[in-house]
Structure 1
Amino acid sequence: MKVISSRSALILIVIAQFLGTSLWFAGNAVSSEIGALLGNPDLIAGITSAVQFGFISGTFFYAFFSIPDRFPPGDVFFFSAILAASANVLVILLPLQLSFILICRFLVGFFLAGIYPVGMKIAADYFEKGLGAALGFLVGALVLGTAFPHLIQGLDLQFSWKIIFWITSALAIIGGSIVGFFVPSGPFRKPNPKFNLKLLPELSKIRSLKSAASGYFGHMWELYTFWAFVPLLISYLAKDAFSKNEISLLSFSIIAVGGVSCAIGGQLSSKLGSQKVALFALIGSGICCLIAFILPNIPACLWPIILLIWGILISADSPQFSTLVSQSVPAEFKGTALTLVNSLGFAISIVSIQFAQYLLEWFAVNQMLGLLVIGPMFGVFLFKFFGKKKRLLKEAPTA
């Protein structure tokens, strides 16, 4: 396969990542329509959690068998995108039953494990230096892909809810084909052909990896719960002043602006370092959690701005923590480490989402989201705790 430049590879991976991850929240964007058809209006937590649980299972499977490191990552990305798109389409091909929907969304999440972390692995194989900036664009594409279904819904194009699934599946197939056919393995890729049953326990001993992962876990406790419930938060704060389409468009803006902040944070990391950018964003989003308690008392012209700032900060740390994860392990284990940390991070997110749904019985949505501050608090503390000692070469596992 013809060799391409790192810049060209990054552009193609970013496009493919955006197209592939549009599958992620496709179910959330149309959950109200599906809920009306099924006579069950409270589907958002279940649909979100099904994808998250699928992603957790998929990333653990991919990490346990070291799939991103043992096989060409472009092939893994391509076939995962095809399978995820197929599972997404099954929602409209199978009888409309909640059990089928949840199974299909689970499978979408499972095969997204071969898109998101593997896309970061491919980028890491092209960038020995400047990885924070590269992953800033890449994770930014994930954020935009996540927000995209809200944009489609908000534009009120009179599409059937089924069209959302057709469109996102087609986009994922295109994205997988871009990487599969046009992005060869990067020059810094070091394949690890061996299956090592002890690899995951050995990786868990690396202090620098535990430090980066801890910050990422604190970030993940907050991120997807905020994204999942931001439409409900907007509706609550607007006091029925916004239409459903306006809520969808504002939700898109709040989530999508995080894609821009990921890219900007990536550029800043080249000068300030990934650690400073990540901690600034994590602490800032934690402060936004505290501000959430007083949002109903803030003038109506100000709270959308605060939510946009929250959307900026809540996403910007993700690519920088992933950069620190990638840099904490030898090259031949990058794919496995990224996938493993993703698996654990999303496991935390599913607990957070379900816990948030439970808290809604006792608290208003702004208060519930305000309590997410425990994620950033513990993330910062553990990041500092494990980061006190510099990584030693003897910490690195052997093949």
Structure 2
Amino acid sequence: MKPRAHILPIIILSQFACTSLWFAGNAIVDELTLKTGLGPEIIGYVLSSVQLGFIIGTLVFGLFMIADRFSPSRVFLICSLLAALCNFLLLSETLSKWTLLFARFGTGFFLAGIYPVGMKIAADYYQKGLGKALGYLVGALVLGTAFPYFVSGTSLGKDFTLVIKITSALAIMGGVALWAFVPNGPFRKPSAKLSLGAGPLLFKLHSFRQAAFGYFGHMWELYAFWAFTPLALQTYNTMWASEISVPLSTGMIIALGGLSCVFGGLLSLRSGSRKVAVVSLLLSGLFCLISPVLFTLPSGLFLVGWCFWGMAITADSPQFSNLVATSVPPELKGTALTLVNCIGFAISIFSIQLLSFLAETFDITYLFIALALGPFIGLLGLLGRKHRHVR
């Protein structure tokens, strides 16, 4: 049965609206620095606290099989409302370091009921062409991540509170729209009972294990790249007395990754999700290794190189989700997606903190070489013993 035409667009728009909360704090990090009195370390704090919240959230959601036992649309709605509320805490008149960390942690925790649950909803509607559907969906996530930077880089960004107000309002509208117009999918098979050990047991499945370890390598690189791209742009401006707009360029680099997710999804229909993921990992790994060279190029070529890297680094994400979702029984799709998200985002905290540490002691132009470890591990996972895989 073919889903009604409005289903996928509503899921995509809702995912975009709600995930705009993810980098809302990073887009106004200079203003948060002034309010809290923190120094450069705030970059690591702001993103790592969101990631930690997301990890704890996905761990709780995964262990208790929330997305498989309860209506995913209802879970999405409740979490969008609570995530927006946590985001609003950044507008507190007396914003302390701990209030900041709590607000970002809470936002991340409830994003665990948005990002993987959105993919679960898509999987409940699309058995065929799931890689394509997830390409659009993860593309929406990436565009949502870039959105706060675009707001910050325009005249609206002169009032940093508007970044928080706009992203919070979007999240509320996105959650309501999905709950109102996207009922439970025809291929949803709810779990009848709670089984706390169901998630970890999935690693006994060889195809799931390969997809999961490929995703873990991808996650080592992705969020650290996004978090430190503004620093790379600032460094380039300082080195060459350039005038690249940091917020607008960061938003553009991240947003182009959303387009590559869509392109990768379309390509997966012909080449298969595994092949798209392998090529994407290989390209992004090469960019890690040649990243010092990019800093020596004229500003136009530097931005082009960083944009292509931003596209290569995201194109594999929806394909890993497709490989994960199709490697497990239908009643455990939500748990599987949530579990790999949990572990993947835990890994991203280590890479973010590693780059935060290295940024204080090493030349920034060599900083991103450390991210090559992720694509290397991901390729090892995907290129292991051959097995039947989905297309």
The answer, yes or no, to whether TM exceeds 0.5 is yes
Match of 2:273 in 1: 274
| Residues 273 and 323 in structure 2, CA contact (< 8 A), matched pair in contact too | yes
**Equivalent AA in structure 2 for residue 45 of structure 1:** G
CA distance in 2, matches of 1:36, 1:219: 33
Match of 2:333 in 1: 334
**Equivalent AA in structure 2 for residue 222 of structure 1:** E
| Residues 94 and 100 in structure 1, CA contact (< 8 A), matched pair in contact too | no
Match of 2:300 in 1: 301
Match of 2:108 in 1: 109
| Structure 1 residue 8: Cα displacement | 1.7
CA distance in 2, matches of 1:300, 1:158: 24
SS at match of 2:204: coil
| Structure 1 residue 371: Cα displacement | 1.7
SS at match of 1:237: helix
SS at match of 1:360: helix
Q: CA separation of 1:6/1:336 partners in 2, compared to 1, >3 Å: closer, same or farther?
A: farther
Indicate whether 1:317 and 2:300 are aligned.
no
**Equivalent AA in structure 2 for residue 74 of structure 1:** S
Match of 2:163 in 1: 164
CA distance in 1, matches of 2:89, 2:300: 42
Q: CA separation of 1:7/1:267 partners in 2, compared to 1, >3 Å: closer, same or farther?
A: farther
| Residues 291 and 366 in structure 2, CA contact (< 8 A), matched pair in contact too | yes
Match of 2:284 in 1: 285
- Cα deviation, 1:71-96, whole Å, max 9, x if unaligned, reads 01000000000010011112213631
**Equivalent AA in structure 1 for residue 61 of structure 2:** Y
CA distance in 1, matches of 2:158, 2:298: 35
| Residues 63 and 197 in structure 2, CA contact (< 8 A), matched pair in contact too | no
Instruction: Give matches, 1:374-385, under 5 Å.
Output: 374-385=373-384
SS at match of 1:301: helix
CA distance in 2, matches of 1:39, 1:189: 49
Match of 2:74 in 1: 75
Identity among equivalent pairs (%):
49
Instruction: Give matches, 1:59-208, under 5 Å.
Output: 59-93=58-92, 95-157=94-156, 159-208=158-207
| Residues 134 and 266 in structure 1, CA contact (< 8 A), matched pair in contact too | yes
| Structure 1 residue 315: Cα displacement | 0.5
| Structure 1 residue 197: Cα displacement | 2.2
Match of 2:30 in 1: 32
| Structure 1 residue 361: Cα displacement | 2.3
- The range that moved more, 300-309 or 66-75, is 300-309
| Structure 1 residue 298: Cα displacement | 2.1
Match of 1:344 in 2: 343
Match of 2:12 in 1: 14
Indicate whether 1:23 and 2:31 are aligned.
no
Match of 2:47 in 1: 48
Indicate whether 1:5 and 2:6 are aligned.
no
CA distance in 2, matches of 1:339, 1:4: 26
CA distance in 1, matches of 2:320, 2:157: 40
Match of 1:263 in 2: 262
| Structure 1 residue 158: Cα displacement | 5.0
| Structure 1 residue 33: Cα displacement | 1.0
CA distance in 2, matches of 1:175, 1:134: 18
Q: CA separation of 1:6/1:216 partners in 2, compared to 1, >3 Å: closer, same or farther?
A: farther
| Structure 1 residue 166: Cα displacement | 1.1
Q: CA separation of 1:121/1:284 partners in 2, compared to 1, >3 Å: closer, same or farther?
A: same
Match of 2:57 in 1: 58
Match of 1:388 in 2: 386
CA distance in 2, matches of 1:50, 1:6: 38
| Structure 1 residue 39: Cα displacement | 2.6
SS at match of 2:313: helix
CA distance in 1, matches of 2:164, 2:74: 24
CA distance in 2, matches of 1:118, 1:158: 31
| Structure 1 residue 235: Cα displacement | 1.2
Could you say what the CA RMSD is over the residues aligned between the two structures, in angstroms?
1.6
Match of 1:395 in 2: none
| Structure 1 residue 296: Cα displacement | 2.3
**Equivalent AA in structure 2 for residue 383 of structure 1:** L
Q: Which runs of 4+ in 1 moved over 6 A?
A: none
- Cα deviation, 1:139-177, whole Å, max 9, x if unaligned, reads 000000000010011113354222211111100000000
CA distance in 2, matches of 1:320, 1:86: 32
SS at match of 1:174: helix
**Equivalent AA in structure 1 for residue 357 of structure 2:** Y
- Cα deviation, 1:104-155, whole Å, max 9, x if unaligned, reads 1000000000000000000000001000000000000000000001001111
Unaligned runs of 5+ in 2: none
CA distance in 2, matches of 1:307, 1:285: 10
CA distance in 2, matches of 1:107, 1:155: 27
| Structure 1 residue 374: Cα displacement | 0.7
SS at match of 2:236: helix
| Residues 156 and 162 in structure 2, CA contact (< 8 A), matched pair in contact too | no
| Residues 72 and 117 in structure 2, CA contact (< 8 A), matched pair in contact too | yes
Match of 1:396 in 2: none
Match of 1:394 in 2: none
CA distance in 2, matches of 1:250, 1:184: 38
Q: CA separation of 1:285/1:74 partners in 2, compared to 1, >3 Å: closer, same or farther?
A: same
Q: CA separation of 1:63/1:362 partners in 2, compared to 1, >3 Å: closer, same or farther?
A: same
Q: CA separation of 1:4/1:110 partners in 2, compared to 1, >3 Å: closer, same or farther?
A: farther
Q: CA separation of 1:274/1:109 partners in 2, compared to 1, >3 Å: closer, same or farther?
A: same
Unaligned runs of 5+ in 1: 392-399
**Equivalent AA in structure 1 for residue 39 of structure 2:** P
Match of 2:216 in 1: 217
